[in-house]
Amino acid sequence: MRTKPQLSFRVKVILVGSFLFCLLFLLHRSTNSNTEESRQPNYHTLPSTLAASSCTKIPTSLANAIVHYATLKITPQQTLEEISISLRVLEEKSPCNLLVFGLGHDSLMWTSLNHGGRTVFLEEDKSWIEQIQRQIPSLESYHVVYNTKLTEADELLEISKTEECRHVTDPRLSKCKLSLKNLPAEVYNVEWDLIMVDAPTGYFDGAPGRMSAIYTAGLMARNRENGETDVFVHDVNREVEHKFSKVLLCDGFLREEQGRLRHFTIPSYRTRQGRNFCP
C-alpha cells in the first residue's frame, strides 16, 4: 500500500479535520458522561485538577497523528471521497477490529480513526515494514508471503468458483488454493469488523496480485461467529480487483462504490446454514 509522493491540500485538510472531529467527539462524550454523573448523588469527589484533565486531555495517539499529517509532504493514495466511505463506517463501529492488507503512509490515519480499537496491517515487503516502523513504531504490522502471481489470475478466478472454494471454514482449514494459510495466528484468532484490501502489489505481471487477499477477506467475513464484516477493496479500476471483488465478495453484498473503492457488507454464514455463497 505504498503511496505516490504528491501534495494534496484537500486530502490533508480532511485528515486533520477527521482527527479533530474524533477529538471533539471524545470530548463531547466525556462531557455528556460527566453531566449524567452530576445528576447522581456525589459521594466521592475527585480533585478538581484530575477531573479537569480527564475532560480535556487529547489522547497521545491522536495528537501524534494530527502532527504527523499536518507536516507530512506525502499524502495517502486514496482520494477524499474514497476515504470518506471508510470513515463513515468507522464513525459508526469504532472502536473495533480493523484489518488492513497493506502498510503505508496512511496507516497511522486508519489506526487513529479506529482510536481505542485494534488495527493490524499485513505487508509483503520486509524492508518497507522496517522503514515505516522506524517512523511510526506504534503500528502493529506483520510480514506476509504471497504464493500467487498476477499472471495466474484467470486460472485462479475459475478455481474460485469450485466447491472447495465455496465452502465456508477457517482459512487455515480451507482446501481452496486461494486461501491464505500462513498469516500470523493473531489474524485468525480475531473477528474483524472491517477489512481493507489495498495490497499486495498488483500492477505488473510478476506481482502477487490481490486474488488471495480478496478471497481470504471474504472467507474471514463469512466464517465469523455472528454479525457482519465491512470489506473494502481499493483499485477496482484494475481488472483483478474488479473481477475478484465482484465474484468473491458478490454484487448482492455491495453497499457502495466511489472512485476506485468498493464497499461490501458480508454477513456471518455460521448463523445461517445453507446460505448461498452469493445472494
CB 255 within 8 A of CB 233: no
Task: Determine the pLDDT at residue 71.
Answer: 63
Strand order in the sheet with 228-234: 140-143, 118-123, 97-101, 194-197, 228-234, 261-267, 254-258
Q: How confident is the model at residue 274 (pLDDT cuts 50, 70, 90)?
A: confident
Look at residue 39 and tell me whether its pLDDT is greater than 70. no
CB 266 within 8 A of CB 222: yes
C-alpha–C-alpha distance, residues 221 and 238, integer Å: 23
Q: State pLDDT tens for residues 254-272.
A: 999 999 999 999 999 998 8
DSSP string, 142-157: EE------GGGHHHHH
Q: CA separation (Å) from 168 to 31, 148, 162?
A: 45, 21, 12
C-alpha–C-alpha distance, residues 37 and 32, integer Å: 9
Average pLDDT of span 129-143 = 95
Look at residue 29 and tell me whether its pLDDT is greater than 80. no
Beta partners for residue 97, in sequence order: 118
Closest CA to 19 of 54, 81, 62: 62
Give the angle subtended at the CA of 241 by the CAs of 238 and 244, to the nearest 5°: 135
CB 265 within 8 A of CB 229: yes
- The helix (H) or strand (E) run that includes residue 267 is strand 261-267
CB 103 within 8 A of CB 119: no
As a whole number, the mean pLDDT across the chain is 84
Instruction: Give 43's DSSP letter.
Output: -
CB 22 within 8 A of CB 47: no
Q: Which residue has the cell 506481482?
A: 207
Q: How confident is the model at residue 221 (pLDDT cuts 50, 70, 90)?
A: very high
